[in-house]
Structure 1
Amino acid sequence: MFRFLIRRFIQALIVMIVISIISFLVQGRLGDPVHQMVGQSVTLEERKQIRDELGLNDSLFDQYIRFAKKAVRGDLGVSYYYKEPALDVILRKLPATLELSFSAIVLIIIIAIPCGVIAAIKPKSILARTLMFFSTIGLSVPIFIIAIFLVYFFSVEWQIAPSFGRGETEVIFSFWETGFTTWDGIKHLFLPSLSLALALMPLFVRLIRSEMMEVLQSEYIKFAWAKGLSPMRIYFIHALKNTLLPIITVAGIQTGTLVAYTILTETIFQWPGMGFLFWDAISRVDTPLISAYLMVVGAMFVITNTLVDLIYGLVNPTVRLSSHGL
């Protein structure tokens, strides 16, 4: 375990260095930040002075070293628009994105696992064929199309769920603003979380079905039937447990996809999270905020992948963590 953690720490350090270089280089490719900070009446001399104060006239190497030293201390720059530390702005929006992602993951688990198992138990049944049909369609439909249909039916036609915003929220633990504690917040969370879940759910339904069908043909499952174990125990304990390893692998990989879909979902539903903030920062050429977002998301990827490897060891103790993850 100790060797695994050391190895993962070194890998995480390398990944974060690469992400920091990319984040830094992005700053010089999105336009002139001075132009976004000042009005048209500012003279060229004043613009040059501002660039000197921001260090934008220094060499690229000097700028990166300065950026990296500040990043190590948790200083990811000051937002040009909000006039406050970019990391503070992102952390203020982080709870909304985490709640949206968590809700989508819960919906995926609740719906995808039973659907995948049912489709694997009786693959030729009408229900299984229907599930596979809709999962195929779901893989082909972009998330913004799904979101538009959800808004049309649930908000316009049936008027049972709001189509934008986060709704009423409450502050808990003195720093976490959540909508889970209010009915209005839950109603506002329903459509964006369902939209995000439907974008990834078909993949997991098909994956669970495929892995489950293979496991059900194995010898130990036949032995479990011979022992007279109940079908529910065989399907949802013995068989499902051995389908989780590839599912966990795909879930870790899909973290990046989830973040990308979060940007689209939050933009469509005007959800005040990190994704919507990132899109807004691009439109304003707020380069410190963009770089800080990339750094924070990169750190989330590293942490998620490490947790996936640890879960491997919990699901299947025969997997050696010291040799996994290279």
Structure 2
Amino acid sequence: MLAYLVKRIFQAIGVMFVISLIGFAIQDNLGDPLRELVGQSVTEEVRQELREELGLNDSFTKQYTRFLGNALHGDLGTSYFFKEPALDVILKKLPATLELVFGATLIIVCLSVPLGVMTAIRPNAILSKFIMGASIIGISIPVFLTAILMIYVFSVGYGWLPSFGRGDVVHVFGDWDTNFANVDGLRHIIMPSFALASIMLPLFVRLIRAEMMEVLQSEYVKYARAKGIRPWRIYFVHALKNTLLPVITVGGVQIGTMVAYTILTETVFQWPGMGFMFLEAVNRVDTPLIVAYLIVVGFIFVVTNTVVDLIYGLVNPTVKLARLGA
């Protein structure tokens, strides 16, 4: 276990280095940040002074070396727009994004497992065929279109749910405010969570169904049936446990992917999270905030994948963690 963790830490450092290098390299192609900082009325002399002050005239190597040295001390730069450390700005927006991802994950887990198992047990049933047909449609529809349709139906058409914002949130600690502590907060997070889950839910239903059908054809399941074990125990104890092994691996990657998908969801619903902040940073050419966002999202991916590998080893003790890290 210790050797595996050490190996993954070194791999994570390498991945984060590549992410930081790519993120820092593309910032010159995003536009001139001085255009947003000072506007058009400032003289060229003042612009050059600001460029020197911000270090924008330095070579790429010098800028990146300075950035890397500061990053090792937890300094990812200062946001041009917010006039405060970029990491602090992201951490203020992070709770809203994590709550949205948590809500979507909860929906995916609660719906995909029973629907996937049911369609595997009764593949020829009308309901199973309807679910599989709907899953194809769900995979094909972009998340932003799903979000717009939900707003049109449930907000504009029936007025059941609010169409934007977080609503009344309850302060927990620090910068963390939650939507799950009152009715108004729950009403505001329902549609964004379903919209975000819509792109992943069909994938997990089909994955669980495919794995479950394969497991049900295995010899130990046939042996369990021959022994007279109750069907529900075969399905939900013996078969489901082995079905979830590959699902956990894919699920960890997809949960990390949902952090990136929140950009579209948060934009449509005006959800004040990291994704909405990132698009605003791109429009303002706030390059320190953009680079910091890419690094934070990359860090979330690395941590998520490592945790998933550890969980995989706990669920299936026969799997060697050292082999997983190979």
TM-score between the two structures when normalised by the length of structure 1: 0.98
Query: 1: distance between equivalents of 2:304 and 2:60?
Result: 32
Match of 1:42 in 2: 42
**In terms of mean alpha carbon deviation, does 2-11 or 176-185 score higher?**
176-185
Is the Cα contact below 8 Å between 2:105 and 2:255 reproduced in 1? no
Mind listing any 5+ residue stretches in structure 2 that lack a counterpart? none
Residue 73 of structure 1 aligns with an amino acid whose one-letter code is H
Q: Counterpart amino acid of 2:260?
A: A
Counterpart residue type for residue 114 of structure 2: P
1:264-305 CA-to-partner distances (Å, cap 9, x unmatched) read 000000000000000111111110100010010010000000
Q: Offset of 1:20 from its aligned partner?
A: 0.8
Task: Report SS of the residue matched to 2:199.
Answer: helix
Q: Which residue of the partner structure matches residue 62 of structure 1?
A: 62
Give the Cα–Cα distance (whole angstroms) in 1 for the partners of residues 301 and 174 of structure 2: 27
Specify the alignment match of 2:90 in structure 1.
90
**Which segment drifts farther, 47-56 or 249-258?**
249-258
SS of alignment partner, residue 171 of structure 2: strand
Matched, 1:237 2:243: no
**Aligned residue in 1 for 2:128:** 128
Q: How many residues align?
A: 326
| Structure 1 residue 233, shift from structure 2 partner | 1.4
In structure 1, the residue matched to 2:284 is: 284
Residue 162 of structure 2: aligned partner: 162
Code of the residue aligned with 2:141 in structure 1: it is: V
- Opposite residue 100 of structure 1, the aligned amino acid is L
Match of 1:211 in 2: 211
SS at 2:67 equivalent? helix
Deviation at 1:177, TM superposition (A): 1.3
* Contact 2:256/2:304 (<8 A) preserved: no
Q: Could you tell me whether the CA contact under 8 Å between 2:161 and 2:187 is conserved in 1?
A: yes
- Determine if the alignment matches structure 1 residue 24 to structure 2 residue 24: yes
Amino acid at match of 2:163: S
Equivalent position SS for 1:177: strand
1:234 offset after TM fit, Å? 1.0
Q: TM-score, normalised by structure 2?
A: 0.98
Task: Tell me by how many angstroms 1:244 deviates.
Answer: 1.1
Residues 125-274 of structure 1: matches in 2 within 5 Å?
A: 125-274=125-274
Distance 2:178 2:295 in 1: 24
| Aligned counterpart, 1:301 | 301
Q: Is the 8 A contact 2:97 2:273 kept in 1?
A: yes
Deviation for aligned residue 1:175: 3.5
2:250 is paired with a residue whose SS is helix
Q: In structure 1, what is the Cα distance between the partners aligned to 2:179 and 2:251?
A: 26
- Matched letter for residue 278 of structure 1: F
> What amino acid maps onto 1:260 in structure 2?
A
Structure 1 unaligned blocks of 5 or more: none
Matched residue, 1:75: 75
Alpha-carbon RMSD across the aligned residues, in angstroms, is 1.0
Provide the C-alpha distance between the structure 2 equivalents of 1:312 and 1:137, rounded to a whole number of angstroms.
31
How far 1:222 moved relative to its partner?
Answer: 1.1
Q: Helix, strand or coil for the counterpart of 2:23?
A: helix
Q: Tell me the CA shift for residue 256 of structure 1.
A: 4.6
Q: Which moved more, 1:108-117 or 1:33-42?
A: 33-42
One-letter code of the match for 2:181? T
* Structure 2 counterpart of 1:306, one-letter code: T
Of 224-233 and 179-188, the range deviating more from structure 2: 224-233
For the 8 Å contact 2:253–2:304, the answer to whether it is kept is: no
**Separation of aligned partners in 2, 1:68 and 1:322:** 30
Structure 2 contact 79–86 (Cα < 8 Å) conserved? yes
